[in-house]
Structure 1
Amino acid sequence: MGDSTLWVAALTAATAVLASWVTSRGTARAARIQADAAAATVRTDRLRAARRAAYVDVIEQAQRMGDLYWKVTDTHEISDADDRLLTLKDLRLRLRGEYAVLRQRVWVADLEGPPEVASAADQLRRSTSDNYRALGAMIAGEPDAAERFDACYRPFWESVVHFVDTARSALHETPV
């Protein structure tokens, strides 16, 4: 009887050790899976936040440029030709500075991705060229330059709206 008790005790101990080992491996594996999932969620959240910030910066800068475009249009109301010319030159200088900021923000949006948003941001950036050329023509005194400038506003604003739509879609997709 003593022999069988020893065997039962040894078998019970071995079973307990084996069960403990299996449980610890399962717990470690579950903890690793949970940690990987948490890390992936943090990475996704950080990517989404970085992209959102970059996209908002582009939109804010486009709005600043749009506000200056409206000021250019408002110069039609300045009756004194010298004052109007001085105001137009000042606005061109301000637009040049705002364009530099826009270009930098477009590069950041390009860096953050995805490619569709980068392309829409670059399209927005390029849409400012006609406005700038028309403003230069206004300063040079070309007769139809003001109408050309006004006609450039709609394509510019459409590119802003396209960028916003593209950025919104990208933010609502799950980043890879």
Structure 2
Amino acid sequence: MGDSTLWVAALTAGTAVLASWVTSRGTYRAARIQADAAAATVQADRLRATRRSAYVDVIEQAQRMGDLYWKVTDADRVQDPDERLAALRDLRIRLQGEYAVLRQRVWVVDLEGPAEVAAAADRLRLATGDNWRALRAMIEGEEGAGQRFDDCYRPFWESVVTFVGLARTALHETRT
């Protein structure tokens, strides 16, 4: 009888050790899965926040340039030729500075991605070129340059709207 008690005690102890090992292994796996999921969520949140900041910077800069484009149109309507020319030259200098900021912000979007949004940001940047050339023509007194400048606003703004749509989609995709 003493021998069977020893066997039962050994079997019970072995079962307890095995159950403890299985439980700890399961707990470890569950904790690891939970930690990996939390890390992935934090990384996705950081990526989304970084991208959002870069996208907002481009949108704000495009808005600044758009506001200056409206001022160019207003300046072109000034009756006094000297005052008109001075205003257009001043706006050209201001637009040059704003373009430099836009270019830098587009580069940041290029780093943050995704590629489709970066390409849209670059198309937005390139959409400023026609405005720039038309403004130069206005300063040089070319006939019809003012109307050419006004005609450039719609394609520029359409590139902004396209960028915003793609940026929104990219931000919602990083959330899921």
**TM-score range normalised by the length of the shorter chain:** over 0.9
Q: How far apart are residue 175 of structure 1 and its match?
A: 7.0
Q: Residue 151 of structure 2 corresponds to which residue in structure 1?
A: 151
Q: Residue 114 of structure 2 corresponds to which residue in structure 1?
A: 114
4+ runs deviating over 3 angstroms: none
List per-residue Cα deviations over 1:14-73 (Å, max 9, x = no partner).
111111111111111111111001101111111111111111110000000000000000
Aligned residue-pair number: 176
CA–CA separation in structure 1 for the residues paired with 2:140 and 2:112: 40
TM-score normalized with structure 2 length: 0.97
TM-score normalized with structure 1 length: 0.97
CA–CA separation in structure 2 for the residues paired with 1:43 and 1:147: 49
The question of whether the paired residues in 2 share the 8 Å contact of 1:48 and 1:171 is answered with: yes
Q: How far apart are residue 77 of structure 1 and its match?
A: 3.1
CA–CA separation in structure 2 for the residues paired with 1:148 and 1:6: 100
Q: Residue 20 of structure 1 corresponds to which residue in structure 2?
A: 20
The yes-or-no answer on 1:88 pairing with 2:88 is: yes
The question of whether the paired residues in 1 share the 8 Å contact of 2:47 and 2:174 is answered with: no
Q: Residue 100 of structure 2 corresponds to which residue in structure 1?
A: 100
Q: How far apart are residue 76 of structure 1 and its match?
A: 2.8
CA–CA separation in structure 1 for the residues paired with 2:138 and 2:165: 32
CA–CA separation in structure 2 for the residues paired with 1:152 and 1:77: 17
One-letter identity of the residue aligned with 1:21: W
One-letter identity of the residue aligned with 1:64: R
The yes-or-no answer on 1:77 pairing with 2:80 is: no
CA–CA separation in structure 1 for the residues paired with 2:175 and 2:38: 15
Q: How far apart are residue 3 of structure 1 and its match?
A: 1.4
CA–CA separation in structure 1 for the residues paired with 2:56 and 2:101: 13
The secondary structure found in structure 2 opposite 1:143 is coil
Q: Residue 8 of structure 2 corresponds to which residue in structure 1?
A: 8
Gap regions ≥5 residues in structure 1: none
CA–CA separation in structure 1 for the residues paired with 2:101 and 2:16: 68
CA–CA separation in structure 2 for the residues paired with 1:168 and 1:60: 15
CA–CA separation in structure 2 for the residues paired with 1:66 and 1:112: 24
Root-mean-square deviation (CA, aligned residues, Å) is: 1.2
Q: Identical aligned pairs, as a percentage? A: 78
CA–CA separation in structure 1 for the residues paired with 2:77 and 2:157: 23
Q: Residue 61 of structure 2 corresponds to which residue in structure 1?
A: 61
The secondary structure found in structure 1 opposite 2:139 is helix
CA–CA separation in structure 1 for the residues paired with 2:170 and 2:10: 62
One-letter identity of the residue aligned with 2:145: A
Q: Residue 139 of structure 1 corresponds to which residue in structure 2?
A: 139
List per-residue Cα deviations over 1:82-102 (Å, max 9, x = no partner).
111111111000000000000
Gap regions ≥5 residues in structure 2: none
